[in-house]
Amino acid sequence: MLKRFIGLLLLSLPLTGIDCRAEETYDSFISLQLENDLWGSNDDRFYTHGSKFSWATNEPAPEFLLSLTERLPFYKSGPTERHGFEIGQAIFTPEDIEATALIEDDRPYASWLYLNTGIGHVYHDRGDRERMNMLLLTIGIVGPSSLGEETQEAVHSVFDNTDPQGWDNQLEDELGLNFTFLSKSRRIYGFDESWQTELGGHNNFTLGNVYSYAAVGVTARFGTHLKNDIGPPSILPGFPGTPTFNPYRKSNWYLFAGLEVRAMLHNIFLDGNTQRDSHSVVKEKWVADIQFGVAYHFNDMRVSFVQLFRSREFESQDEATQYGAINFTFFNG
């Protein structure tokens, strides 16, 4: 069963970028996102690792995705459309990974392996304001079958890090299902033909047995040719971005910073398994993320690096979480 599930996992963020190409010309993108506290606090704790591989295209989307957007009164389609798939993994550990016994006042060992599929549209709203809507459907597995222990031990064996000892206390296997709607708007102001600044806002709500939350946020960018993309992707919960961009014959770059605040209704990685008794901690109802980053386009590739700071997620957490994210996105015309 696990082999079937992993085989099913071929990934998704439907994301959308601003497309200046003819609609009959189908483009595709592949993207690799790596998030790790090694590039932040340099500690193995809390949200310690995330990775995902994405494929996105402007080919006609599957009918079930189009039908779903048509049935949602709050979803507005637009002339620029992307859809795709994504496979990812996220790993969470307590602060002390050398302890073999259950640490009751720290977060559970947990991981999840998931598949996303979704669709996104970009359209113009109120003159020069641009808006992006995205819809994501996620299915995955939480628990030992998500291979978090194996992944962390393999990585630690390469970098000669401390061998984690407490995975026997991890959450049990549970099927995870999530529905996410995300909307982002932005205005771009140009100093000349190249230099631009952007201010954008976004909102997001997610429902499911893995995460349920509502979020609002703002992002500012400064650099060259900002219209060529919306920003690099992240692993949810997190800031909106896409594994797509508009290829441009000249290199360009930008700096960005953002703030997101979430009202957390449910987080399986803190609340524990929903269908059986398991280790859990008292989560914080409000969580905030702050990010700072830089992105660079050259030829048919975008590279970005981000530093993220996440406020305490549970009441007995001593410090905020800090981690870094690296993204590589490649255009395949």
pLDDT, tens digit, for every residue of 19-61?
A: 433 345 788 999 999 999 888 877 888 999 999 999 999 999 9
Is this model's pTM higher than 0.85 or not? yes
What pLDDT is recorded for position 9?
43
Strands 321-332 and 28-36: antiparallel
Which residues does 199 contact at the CB level (< 8 Å), separation at least 6? Answer: 186, 187, 218, 219, 220
Provide the β-strand partners of residue 288. Answer: 261
Which structural domain, as residue segments, surrounds residue 238? 2-332
Mean pLDDT by 10 residues, the chain (333 residues): 45 37 71 92 88 95 93 90 96 94 96 97 82 96 97 83 89 97 93 85 97 98 92 93 87 96 98 94 98 94 97 95 96 85
Number of domains in the chain: 1
What pLDDT is recorded for position 333?
72
Q: What is the CATH number of the domain that holds 206?
A: 2.40.128.140
Q: Would you report the helix, strand and coil content of the chain in percent, each value rounded to 5? A: 15, 50, 40
Element (H, E) at 31: strand 28-36
- Residue 270, classed as helix, strand or coil, is helix
CB 226 within 8 A of CB 254: yes
Which among 104, 99, 114 is positioned nearest to 145, based on CA atoms?
A: 114
What pLDDT is recorded for position 127?
65
- The mean predicted confidence, pLDDT, of the chain is 89
Residue 203 CB neighbours (<10 A): 15
> Dihedrals φ, ψ of 187, to 5°?
-125, 135
> How far apart, in whole angstroms, are the C-alpha atoms of residue 25 and residue 40?
40
